[in-house]
Amino acid sequence: MQKIEVSYKSFFTFFLFIAGFFLLYQIRAIILFLFISLIVTAALSPMVDKLEKLKLPRALSIFLLYILIFGGFIFAIASSIPALVKQTSALIDKLPEFLNTIGYYKLNLQPADYKDQITVLTGNALKIMASVFNNVIQIFAFMVVTFYLLMERRQLKKHLHFLFYENGEQKAEQLILALERKLGGWVRGELILMVIVGLMSFVGLGLLGVEFALPLAILAGFLELIPNLGPTIALIPAVIIGFSVSNPVGLGVLALYILIQQLENNLIVPKVMKKSVGLHPLVTLVALMVGFKIGGIGGGLLAVPAALFIEILIKFFYSSRRRVLH
User: Domain coordinates of the chain in residue numbers?
Assistant: 29-321
Question: Which pLDDT belongs to residue 126?
Answer: 56
DSSP result, 9-58: HHHHHHHHHHHHHHHHHHTHHHHHHHHHHHHHHHHHHHHHHHHHTTT--H
Quick: pLDDT tens for 14-28. Answer: 777 788 777 877 877
Q: Are 232 and 220 in contact (CB under 8 A)?
A: no
| Residue 303: Cβ-neighbour burial (10 angstroms; 0-12, 13-18, 19+) | buried
Q: Are 241 and 249 in contact (CB under 8 A)?
A: no
Question: Which pLDDT belongs to residue 149?
Answer: 87
Helices 111-134 and 58-93: angle between axes, nearest 10 degrees:
160
Question: Which pLDDT belongs to residue 64?
Answer: 92
Length of the chain: 326
Question: Which pLDDT belongs to residue 105?
Answer: 42
Which candidate, 276, 112, 113, places its Cα nearest to that of 185?
A: 276
Which candidate, 145, 146, 149, 153, places its Cα nearest to that of 172?
A: 153
Rounded to an integer, what distance in angstroms lies between the CA atom of residue 15 and that of residue 9?
10
DSSP result, 213-263: HHHHHHHHHHGGGSTTHHHHHHHHHHHHHHHHH-HHHHHHHHHHHHHHHHH
For the chain, which residues score pLDDT lower than 70?
Answer: 1-12, 91, 93-135, 161-163, 165, 272-278, 320-326
CA dihedral 131, 134, 136, 139 (to 10 degrees): -30
Q: pTM for this one?
A: 0.70
Rounded to an integer, what distance in angstroms lies between the CA atom of residue 43 and that of residue 188?
6
